[in-house]
Structure 1
């Protein structure tokens, strides 16, 4: 039986990622149109470092990439190298009007682009962070 570590001691664990109401609305619309989703934030190059939204299974995380949590029930993966840089930061997924780099993300035809706002965790938060799942 699969045990989701993000549901264990949920009231005591500090989430690594949250989502704004505006992003929730876009995610709901995308899920209604495309079904199950997933998010991936790459480490640069052509796609930049903006998070991208795909149909579940439409993108395969690389070995040792990190899943930092669930966004509206959908996995949020981060490039392994980018995670090493941002591992002490809380992520807030937001959405803006405009077109992000690459144009492969599902929100692009809506004239939207997902964006992450970062803040450093406090020392107290670092002691109780939700676990990270690595792609093996």
Structure 2
């Protein structure tokens, strides 16, 4: 099966650091407005996905949820979680006090990959 989500080494290192400080984690990527479209990292259970939001995968056990409307737009894309220095839009995200921000790099799946994608999970 083809994964919908991967992470760079820098993102993995930061997730490990955040897990050590905060315990189990989760990610949520909203569709815009106040929180922007950058992924935000929370303690597991610190954010409640809405009905029909989509879980596209996990990184080190941290579920990665995407806003249902954003997923409709990006469903044919692979997400790679990365991290940048600086303050992003998500002031509530756990990496913010460290002067970091998570970012997604997108690429379209190939026709062959689309036939073998891992299933998604909808919030019910």
TM-score, scaled relative to structure 1: 0.90
* CA deviation vs aligned residue, 1:71-106 (integer Å, no higher than 9, x gap): 111100000000000000000000000111130000
2:23 aligns with 35
Q: Which residue of structure 1 aligns with residue 47 of structure 2? A: 59
Which of the residues 78, 83, 108 maps onto 1:90? Answer: 78
1:72 and 1:96 map into 2 onto residues whose CA distance is 19
2:37 matched residue in structure 1:
49
Output the TM-score relative to the length of structure 2.
Answer: 0.99
**After TM superposition, where is structure 1 displaced by more than 2 Å over at least 4 residues in a row?**
none
Distance 2:98 2:43 in 1: 16
What CA distance in whole angstroms lies between the structure 2 residues aligned with 1:103 and 1:60? 17
The size of the alignment, in residue pairs, is 124
Q: Which structure is larger by alpha-carbon Rg, 1 or 2?
A: 1
1:113 aligned residue (95, 101, 107): 101
Q: Which residue of 2 aligns with 1:9?
A: none
Partner of 2:114: 126
Does 1:135 pair with 2:123? yes
1:6-45 superposed Cα distances (whole Å, 9 cap, x missing partner): xxxxxxx000000000000000000000000000000000
* Runs (5+) with no aligned partner, structure 1: 1-12
Q: Could you list the runs of 5+ residues in structure 2 that have no partner in the other structure?
A: none
